[in-house]
Amino acid sequence: MLQLTQKMKNGSMEVMEVAEPVLGGGMMLIRNHFSLISAGTEGSTVSTARKNLIGKAQERPQQVKLVLDTLRTQGPVQTYRAVMKKLDAWSALGYSAAGKVIAIAPGVKGFKINDFVACAGVGYASHAEVVAIPINLCVKLMPDIDLKQAAYNTLGAIAMQGVRQADLRLGENCAVIGLGLLGQLSAVLVKASGSKVIGIDIDPAMVEIASNHCTDMAVLRDADGIEGRIMEFTGGLGCDAVIITAASESLDPINFAGAIARKKGSIVVVGAVPTGFDREPHFYRKELQVKMSCSYGPGRYDPIYEEKGIDYPPAYVRWTEKRNMEAFQALLYSKKIDVSYLTTHVIKLEDAPKAYDMMLSKSEPYIGILIEYDVDKPLKREKILFRPSSIVHRPSVVNVGFIGAGSYAQSHLLPNIPKGADVALKGVITASGTGSRSVGERFGFEFCTGDEKDILGNPEINTVFITTRHDSHADYVLKALKSGKHVFVEKPLCLSIDELEIISSLYNSLLTTPPSPSFLMVGYNRRFSPFAQEAKKIIGNGPMAMIYRINAGAIPPDSWIQDPDLGGGRIIGEVCHFVDFLTFLSGSQPSLVHAQAMSGPRNLQDVVNVSLSFQNGSIGTISYLSNGDKALPKERIEIYGHGCTVVIDDFKSMTVYAGGKKKEKKHFTQDKGQKAEVRTFLDAILQGKPSPIPFEEIYSTSRVTFAILESLRTSQVVKFE
């Protein structure tokens, strides 16, 4: 399928063939008929992309700070990889569209194939022939609706949320500062609600258009006597509410809003403007109320609402983002509002890059720019080939397929796969078509795809890396093993004891099935780090005492990682790393687990102490702490045994205390073992060696993480047979 894409590195824009997006749970595939270019948001994104690195840094100081933090903690190599992942990737544009349903995930209700829908969402409702949309970002349309107007869906919902925040009553006065696309839509909705509208802008053309279509009074910002004219229009009272839809770095919009608002009036900030208003004379003396309007409405940025499709009860949250979209579409269909006048350009998808050039150069006047799609042409639902196959399929060659390839895979796994005569990167699939294409091109895959069968059902591919979100790991592991593939899955292996037992049963049954079975490995990389390998040699075998302290840092409660259904929480999703590491050091499996968590209002269980006893008499403590300061290095391991002590600090240095002497080694950069882990895994396949991590230890580590949760729940010690 075709999609409009852009590279952040240089701003280059291209309409290219990409793989169809993956139909995830709770989603639908929509064939776009029209999508709307948001001149403000998208224009800013494109403008930033076309600047040099210094210009990009000035536009996004927060991202510069993140880069510096990565440089400090992970070193220049990983920092470079992280930056280039962002700059080299093809990214999607667009977030408002309308089209027809062509596929529905199991369990989705209220929609059927061939329904017309309007959809929303950055990363979802892109400028592409086919998009994958969660159900709470999709609204059903009447069959005879005008799809051109329906494509204004997202901007309409944003404007509606701003109007709701203004809390206007019939007959009240509302000023809209900024009469671009969002301002015009806001004015249309305010007028339809029965309030009087005053429009203000710095552009005479926008003022004239608003005067003809959506305002009772429209005036230039620099017009003589503007404040007096507004006071006269409002009968000397001032505006009951002021909605700011302008985009500016100036304080003038917010301060001017204070000047024209009535006493105890409301000011709603919808546009991107600074809010450091002057306290005197207006905001303090009038006791003005300033409100921020969050995008489409309640539910925005909430993964439980947007990704899981769990709605808020209308009795408690009357207007969610989806209900705002439905209300906007109902107003369109009933012809209570008409936004057709906003459409100044309708262009074909292949001409879309020219539209952005026109916007940035302002070579033509514009407001709403619609992209029209050729819905009569057959869709290409096939993998995208980058190059012909260069390696003959034979048992002695590792042909790799990737399912998922996010930040971690691009920073730590893919760069460490040696491509040569005996290793080839065959195919890759990610959730988005642009993601698959970006990874495929950057790392030299033969093809990218939107269909998992092209990976799992491909007889040439004998090795699969699974780096998707945690909730899909178990399912993909089972499918890959049943397909006879060697499997490398990022941690965790699975999210429940039931999934673990199913995987264990299948894996053990394969061991007795000729020919030589595939093996399964989990990405527990720390045991492969140089310091870990050296520490194990120094301490040797036999009972030892181990202390592992992790300054993990806080993760927001609404992150998918904290979600038990999606990420498994931090114990299953992250503490498994450290259980495996102590298992490796001790050379024995845990036999007893006891855990305690610090109590908190959200019960996130991410400040935890875990005590482990091992079968060979070793003991270990894991202190996993999310409430520390990030200036403290993340990880410290202390190992005591046989009159010797080894201390590993953040995998950058190792200190050995033995014979009354102290020896210290340091690495210039952090090495957590990812490179050695990948190479060891591939060598085991090529040379017919056993799995680098025995399955018994993989199974045990997962069992222990579930036991930690059980111990926290029961406050009891959990013992293993």
**pLDDT per residue over 509-541, tens digit each?**
887 776 656 789 999 999 999 999 999 999 988
Convert the pLDDT of each residue in 628-682 to its tens digit: 998 899 999 999 999 999 999 999 999 999 999 999 999 888 999 999 999 999 9
DSSP readout, 343-409? EEEEEEGGGHHHHHHHHHHT-S--SEEEEE---SSPP--SPEESS---S---TTSEEEEEE---HHI
The mean per-residue pLDDT over the stretch 194-206 comes to 97
* Torsion region of 630: left, alpha or beta (phi above 0 gives left; psi -120 to 50 gives alpha): alpha
- Residue 387 belongs to a domain: no
Is 121 in the same domain as 173? no
The pLDDT of residue 621 is 98
Two structure tokens written together for 708: 């930690």
Is 590 in the same domain as 669? yes
Is 145 in the same domain as 173? no
Convert the pLDDT of each residue in 233-257 to its tens digit: 999 999 999 999 999 999 999 999 9
- Which amino acid is residue 36, in one-letter code? L
Residue 310, pLDDT > 50, answer yes
Is 697 in the same domain as 680? yes
Rounded CA separation 176/163 (Å) = 10
* Torsion region of 694: left, alpha or beta (phi above 0 gives left; psi -120 to 50 gives alpha): beta
Two structure tokens written together for 62: 């927060």
Q: Is pTM beyond 0.95 here?
A: no
pLDDT tier at 191, thresholds 50, 70, 90: very high
Two structure tokens written together for 536: 């194990």
188 class by beta-carbon count within 10 Å (0-12 exposed, 13-18 middle, 19+ buried): buried
Among candidate residues 230, 258, 292, the one where a domain is terminated: 292
Is 676 in the same domain as 609? yes
CATH of the domain at 449: 3.40.50.720
Residue 394, pLDDT > 60, answer no
> Residues with Cβ < 8 Å from 107, sequence gap 6 or more?
25, 26
The pLDDT of residue 618 is 97
Convert the pLDDT of each residue in 264-285 to its tens digit: 999 999 999 999 999 999 999 9
Is 533 in the same domain as 489? no
Rounded CA separation 273/241 (Å) = 17
Which domain does 347 fall in, by range?
2-152+302-372
pLDDT tier at 102, thresholds 50, 70, 90: very high
Contact 49, 7 (CB under 8 A): yes
- Residue 274 belongs to a domain: yes
Q: Residue 82, SS3?
A: helix
Q: Which of 95, 35, 44 is nearest to 346 (CA)?
A: 35
Among candidate residues 518, 546, 566, the one where a domain is terminated: 518
- Residue 160 belongs to a domain: no
Convert the pLDDT of each residue in 445-492 to its tens digit: 999 999 999 999 999 999 999 999 999 999 999 999 999 999 999 999
The residues with which 638 forms a beta bridge, in sequence order, are 547, 647
Task: Give CA separation, 82 vs 8, 401, 415, 444, 468, in Å.
Answer: 13, 22, 11, 18, 18
Is 80 in the same domain as 132? yes
Two structure tokens written together for 560: 């998918």
Is 366 in the same domain as 398? no
Task: Give CA separation, 646 vs 525, 532, 544, 639, in Å.
Answer: 19, 10, 11, 5
pLDDT tier at 64, thresholds 50, 70, 90: low
The pLDDT of residue 50 is 76
Angle at 55 between CA 51 and CA 58, to 5 degrees: 145
In our burial notation (b when 16+ CB lie closer than 10 A, e otherwise), range 631-664 reads eeebbbbbbbbeebbbbbbbbbebebeeeeeeee
Task: Give CA separation, 599 vs 165, 550, 602, 624, 712, in Å.
Answer: 36, 18, 8, 14, 11
In our burial notation (b when 16+ CB lie closer than 10 A, e otherwise), range 405-416 reads bbeebbbbbbee
Residue 390, pLDDT > 90, answer no
- Residue 159 belongs to a domain: no
Rounded CA separation 532/433 (Å) = 39
The pLDDT of residue 80 is 66
Number of domains in the chain: 4
